[in-house]
Amino acid sequence: MTAPDAGRGIGDGESAAEITTTFVGLPRDSFRILHVSTGNVCRSPITERLTRHYVKQRLGILGSALVVESAGTWGHEGAPMESHAEQVLADFGADASGFVGRELLDEHVIHADLVLTATRDHRAQVISMGHSAGLRTFTLKEFTRLVKAIDPATLPPLEEGVVQRARALVRAAAALRGWLLAPTAEADEVYDPYGAPLTFFRSIGDEIHQALDPVVTALTGVPARTG
């Protein structure tokens, strides 16, 4: 299945720098997802590349309609992804090539239609930057919880465009936020594996995978392949 407005694909080995350059000044018929962690070398790169991987699995080649990026609140500008993070992506069959770390800037938040953070602290830091980011910034696990409560039938069908569907999903999630609170303070956290052994990185990768699957299904209207 091919997405509306198909064109240049995501997750095809392009570097973060190439993608950023390509999509500067995007028209409003696009939708940007920004993943945020601390250093932008572990959690947010894994989440960025897994999101691209899963969207591409469901929709095939995507054009400029959907852009997936990442940055860090204390980002290691220009740094490569941690080797254990690369291994986690390889475990899932996702592409880790060409990644370059970025420090979170105002322009990243301004242009993002959805910001998904690793922790509540990251969410607070993004919101504190202003730019009316509050209604479009969630922790990843928070957004997953909200998305699971949204009836897919209330969202625009994919035939109307992935952008319209994605915008409607964010609005619906924001409307539910005050009604579906986390059961514990830790429930919305993805902990930092920096410096940890590969086994811990893999456990974090599994957490991210479990959180992303329903999100990508809701965004695309296409469930994950089984078997």
97 pLDDT band, cuts 50/70/90, is very high
Superfamily of domain 31-218: Response regulator (3.40.50.2300)
Model pLDDT, residue 121: 97
| Residue carrying structure tokens 């407005």 | 5
Q: Per-residue pLDDT for 222 more than 90?
A: no
Does residue 20 surpass a pLDDT of 90? no
Give residue 178's pLDDT band: very low, low, confident or very high (50, 70, 90). Answer: confident
**Distances in Å between the alpha carbon of 145 and those of 1, 128, 177, 211?**
27, 23, 9, 8
Q: What is the mean pLDDT of residues 37-56?
A: 96
* Token pair in block for residue 169: 């999903």
Q: Which amino acid is at 219?
A: L
Amino acid identity for residue 67 in this structure: V
Position 223 scores a pLDDT of 86
Q: In Å, what is the CA distance from 68 to each residue of 107, 198, 199? A: 15, 25, 26
| CA–CA gap between residue 119 and residue 207 (Å, rounded) | 13
Query: Domain segments of the chain: what residues?
Result: 31-218
pTM: 0.86
How many angstroms separate the CA atoms of 163 and 64, rounded?
10
SS3 131: coil
> Tens of pLDDT along 114-160?
999 999 999 999 999 999 999 999 999 999 999 999 999 999 998 88
Q: Over the stretch 25-46, which tens digit does the pLDDT of each residue have?
A: 444 588 999 999 999 999 999 9
User: Residue 49's pLDDT band (boundaries 50, 70, 90)?
Assistant: very high
Give 73's contacts (C-beta < 8 A, 6+ positions apart): 36, 37, 38, 104, 122, 125, 126
- The letter for the amino acid at 203 is S
